[in-house]
């Protein structure tokens, strides 16, 4: 019998999962489960298991929707946010959580991401960002750092990478944050805040794919990649206490933007009211 958390929130007949040894997806999926458990256990949060839906696209990371014991839907590549938009629009009372990969949400699904952010529809998108297409064998993705190799960039990738959290913020998302597989507690807290936030929330969680990204780029296996995150990614409280010079080489873990923009389904409800009165 696994831990109470796993027993309660995951489909244990599908575990152990198929992810590689040391894959960050398992760590991030646990963060999501802990965040949901803590919210469900808190009567003031308004979050319940019955009113939570988990949506994913296609990719190693997107398999998480199949492992989590909630009402869930595993959709097509790149379209997780599109399906989630439909679910939220039809049932605004639901807590709709999207588990997606960097390829799923910023390559093929990039258009859905920016428009869901622009509309500020109340979804919580958790990007399992491993800098690569894991499932299909290591093609470079929009977040692969410049210079790194991938099966489709054997001499090094010369594209400039997206910062998914900044991309979503620029497109109008009202809550954007960055987490990491190493910073499990901080990431769980960010996921909780994202779920509680009424508008569009995007949490870009840096994952690790030792199989197709780490080892191919001489960044080591899972342990070395997580140690890199520990060293180079700094929780906001410490980050903002650092001098500007020290900050330069570090990546902040925490909230990037948190605004009170009008939420899309609430706007629609208001429109309906107006239209009814005008009749």
Partner 1 sequence: MVGKKMLVIDQSWCKGCGICVAFCPKQALELVEEKVCLKADNECVLCGQCELRCPDYAIWLEDLEE
Ligand X SMILES: Cc1ncc(C[n+]2csc(CCOP(=O)(O)OP(=O)(O)O)c2C)c(N)n1
123-162: contacts with ligand SF4 (CB under 6 A) = 130, 134-135
The DSSP-derived string for 93-113 is TSEEEEEEEHHHHHTTTHHHH
Residue in 16, 93, 17 with CA at minimum distance from that of residue 53? 93
Residue in 212, 240, 96 with CA at minimum distance from that of residue 152? 212
The stretch among 169-177, 203-211, 227-235, 245-253 that binds ligand SF4 (CB under 6 A) is: 203-211
Least distance between ligand SF4 and beta carbon 179 (Å): 17
- Residue 136 or residue 257: which is nearer to ligand X going by CB? 136
Residue from 30, 77, 88, 192 touching ligand X (CB under 6 A): that is 77
Q: What is the tally of helices (H) and strands (E) in the chain?
A: 12, 10
Residue from 47, 138, 157, 223 touching partner 1 (CB under 8 A): that is 223
Alpha-carbon gap, residue 62 to 211, rounded angstroms: 17
20-39: contacts with ligand SF4 (CB under 6 A) = 20, 23, 25
Q: How far is CA 141 from the centre of its chain?
A: 15
CB atoms within 10 A of CB 90: 9
The binder of 199, among ligand X, ligand SF4, partner 1, none, by C-beta within 5 to 8 A per type, is: none
- Residue 130 or residue 265: which is nearer to ligand SF4 going by CB? 130
Residue from 75, 130, 157, 174 touching ligand X (CB under 6 A): that is 130
Residue from 9, 67, 70, 133 touching ligand X (CB under 6 A): that is 133
Q: Does residue 66 bind partner 1 (CB under 8 A)? A: no
- Residue 205 or residue 234: which is nearer to ligand X going by CB? 205
The binder of 191, among ligand SF4, partner 1, ligand X, none, by C-beta within 5 to 8 A per type, is: none
Q: Does residue 57 bind ligand SF4 (CB under 6 A)? A: no
CB atoms within 10 A of CB 215: 16
Q: How far is CA 212 from the centre of its chain?
A: 20
Sequence-ordered list of residues with C-beta below 8 angstroms from that of 135, at least 6 positions apart, any chain: 58, 59, 60, 101
3-state SS record for 109-159: CHHHHHHHHHHCCCEEEEEEECCEECCCCCEECCCCCCCCCECCECCCCCC
Least distance between ligand X and beta carbon 274 (Å): 39
Cβ-defined contacts of 234-238 (< 8 Å, 24+): 235/183, 235/186
Q: Contact positions toward ligand X, by CB under 6 A?
A: 58-61, 77, 101-104, 108, 128, 130, 132-136, 141
Q: Contact positions toward partner 1, by CB under 8 A?
A: 2-6, 10, 15-17, 19-27, 30, 181-182, 184-185, 221-223, 226-227
């Amino acid at each position: 019998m696994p831990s109470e958390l796993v027993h309660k929130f995951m489909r244990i007949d599908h575990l152990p999962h198929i992810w590689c040894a040391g894959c960050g997806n398992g760590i991030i999926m646990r963060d999501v489960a802990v965040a949901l458990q803590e919210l469900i256990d808190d009567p003031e949060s308004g979050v319940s298991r019955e009113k939570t839906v988990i949506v994913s696209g296609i990719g190693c990371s997107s398999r998480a929707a199949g492992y989590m014991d909630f009402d869930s839907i595993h959709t097509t590549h790149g379209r997780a946010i599109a399906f989630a938009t439909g679910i939220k629009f039809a049932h605004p009372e639901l807590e709709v959580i999207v588990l997606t990969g960097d390829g799923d949400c910023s390559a093929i699904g990039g258009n859905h991401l920016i428009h869901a952010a622009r509309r500020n529809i109340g979804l919580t998108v958790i990007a399992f960002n491993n800098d690569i297409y894991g499932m299909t064998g290591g093609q470079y993705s929009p977040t692969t750092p410049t210079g790194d190799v991938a099966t489709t960039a054997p001499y090094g990738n010369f594209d400039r990478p997206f910062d998914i959290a900044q991309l979503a913020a620029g497109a109008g998302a009202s809550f954007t944050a960055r987490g990491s597989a190493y910073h499990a507690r901080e990431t769980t807290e960010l996921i909780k805040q994202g779920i509680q936030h009424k508008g569009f929330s995007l949490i870009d969680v840096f994952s690790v794919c030792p199989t197709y990204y780490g080892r191919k780029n001489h960044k080591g296996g899972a342990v070395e990649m997580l140690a890199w995150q520990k060293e180079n990614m700094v929780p906001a409280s410490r980050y903002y206490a650092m001098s500007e010079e020290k900050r330069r080489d570090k990546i902040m873990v925490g909230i990037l933007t948190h605004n009170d923009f009008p939420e899309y389904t609430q706007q629609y409800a208001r429109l309906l009211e107006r239209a009814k009165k005008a009749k």
